[in-house]
Amino acid sequence: MFVRDGEVRNLAMRAADSAKNTANLIEGTVKKVKDGSQLVNKTNEAFSEVARSAAKVGELVAEIAAASNEQAHGIDQMNKAVAEMDKVVQQNAANAEESASASEEMNAQAEQMKGMVDELVALVGGNGNGARSIQRVTDNRPPVTGQTKKLGTVRAIKGPGKRERVWNSLFTRRRSARPKK
């Protein structure tokens, strides 16, 4: 029986060693599972933080997109305002050019009128020996642009004791050729 007792002891010792090894393995596995669980929790927290950060980035991108749309709208309005200002500037330039042209024409008409008045004064005032034949008033005048309408013609009247008067096309009135605005 000694042999059997030795074998039983030997088996019991091996079983005890195996149980100890198994307990150590189980303990190591439990520790590794616990460490893995903590690592999973930390990873979960990190992913949650990444998700929150991604949400913040999404909000910021949405705000940037809204601001960009507002800027684009503002730039569009500025472009429209600049185009409108350009139209006004062009209209002012056209008006200034038209005014300058009208001023030149009025100056020419004033010069014509002055010549007519001078001739009229010479005819009415006389020089004591009777008026001589006078060239047409328009011979030395600059031409008037645009359409004109004759208002009247006075021909020379000859008679004993009367002065000779020639007023041909003395009064003319300019009809504006410009379109009305």
- The mean pLDDT of 120-132, rounded to a whole number, is 64
Q: Identify which has the larger pLDDT, 99 or 169.
A: 99
Query: Could you tell me if residue 7 is left (phi over 0), alpha (psi between -120 and 50 degrees) or otherwise beta?
Result: alpha
Spatial contact of 117 and 108, defined as CB atoms under 8 Å apart:
no
pLDDT for the residue 3: 58
Enter the tokens of residue 170: 């003395």
pLDDT for the residue 113: 93
pLDDT for the residue 5: 76
pLDDT, tens only, 129-158 = 444 444 444 444 445 444 444 444 443 444
Beta bridge partners of 139: none
- The mean pLDDT of 51-70, rounded to a whole number, is 96
Over 80: is that where the pLDDT of 126 sits?
no
123 class by beta-carbon count within 10 Å (0-12 exposed, 13-18 middle, 19+ buried): middle
pLDDT for the residue 139: 46
pLDDT for the residue 10: 87
pLDDT for the residue 79: 96
Over 80: is that where the pLDDT of 128 sits?
no
pTM: 0.41
3-state DSSP helix/strand/coil % of the chain, to nearest 5: 70, 10, 20
Kindly list the domain boundaries of the chain, sorted by start residue.
Answer: 1-127
Q: What percentage of residues in the chain have a pLDDT greater than 90? A: 56
Q: Identify which has the larger pLDDT, 126 or 179.
A: 126
Please state which of the ranges 14-18, 19-23, 64-68, 129-133 shows the lowest mean pLDDT: 129-133
Averaged pLDDT of the chain: 76
